[in-house]
Amino acid sequence: MDYQGLKEKYGTPLYIYNVDVIKENINQYVKDFHSSQFETEIIYASKAFNIKAMLRLLMRYNLSLDVVSLGELYTAKMVSFPMQKIYFHGNNKSLEELIYAVTEGVGTIVIDNAMELEQLHHITEELKKDVHIYIRLNVGVEAHTHKYIVTAHVDSKFGVLYQGKEYLEMLKIIEQSNYIHLEGFHSHIGSQIFDLTPYDAVIKKLVEIVKGFNHPLDINLGGGFGTSYTDADHPIPYHEVAKHLIQTMEDELKNQNVHIHKLCIEPGRSIVAEAGQTLYTIGGIKQTPNKLYYFIDGGMTDNIRPALYQALYKADIVGKEKEFKNKIVTIAGKCCESGDIIIENALLPEAKKDDLLITYSTGAYGYSMSSNYNKALTPAVVFIEDGKEELVVKRQSLTELLEREI
């Protein structure tokens, strides 16, 4: 890849996506996520990376879409993403968001709590519009990941405890409603999961729950499937994940003599993370008594994950990938924060000013969580597909930076 040419055209920092990798990851899920016993649906968790070009790519593969905000939903509308294939998540949807979702005909609203359901009940009665919902359940299964990306412990902000007071209250609201239709249950136990055993426990629990209803319901297992950031990560191939979940569900349905209508999963990170790279230019090089710093022209404004929950990455100096890596380096950003570190203790060759540095597996949450802290400009995004480049997000200009200020 001509990184120098990309820098000259689009500047650095720069998000670069290999679309062929995205397509391969999608195909891995599609290959084995199907069953003769129930319908299946792959729903892309768009919080990982939600731009118009990505949503257009998903439509090429007939995937569905998970959104968590009015902005993500509006983006989907702007590319004419089929509203019936959208699942609207979130633990604190506003009145504006719920009205918008109902008015636009969003396919499924995933309800997080009783207050939200009560609000939706009033909206549907006023608008006289039918709405299909899932209830997000906290089934008490925890994944062993960083505490900020575990979402199913008993005190989580997400979902309701099965058979708890709030859950029973929600069933009463649904029973009283003329327009709200319960289609199934959703559960999501965390992110960066490399052991499928927790999903087995979730499947067993959710099948027990739907068994209590008199018609087949949907089960949505969420996502969280691990991806590779460093050599220490060993994710399960995604087609094996798909095959395992299908087989486990089929076996459990047989064991409990239950039928379901549909099984859903919500991969996000695992589809886009390894497809993305971030390109930087090295500015200063600084040796302190105990550390060697390579300063880059980006940082926590384009990748907050290391500062947020100590996420790990790999990096290379462009053009020196095969040189002897004899320097233990701290790759630091330019923000006015001591915690603005992209990689601690990176093993790299000697670098000089204006060398290009590439970090790998930044396709998930880098662009989505980017900010204008220190008035940094949001980088451009480039897609590379079949060897051809396409600018899909322009680099923010100084004028655009201030355009909303009065």
d(CA 292, CA 341): 13
Residue 264 annotated as catalytic: no
154, 336, 398, 406: which one is catalytic? 336
d(CA 321, CA 238): 28
**CB distance 163 to 209 below 8 Å:** no
**Catalytic residue ranges:** 336
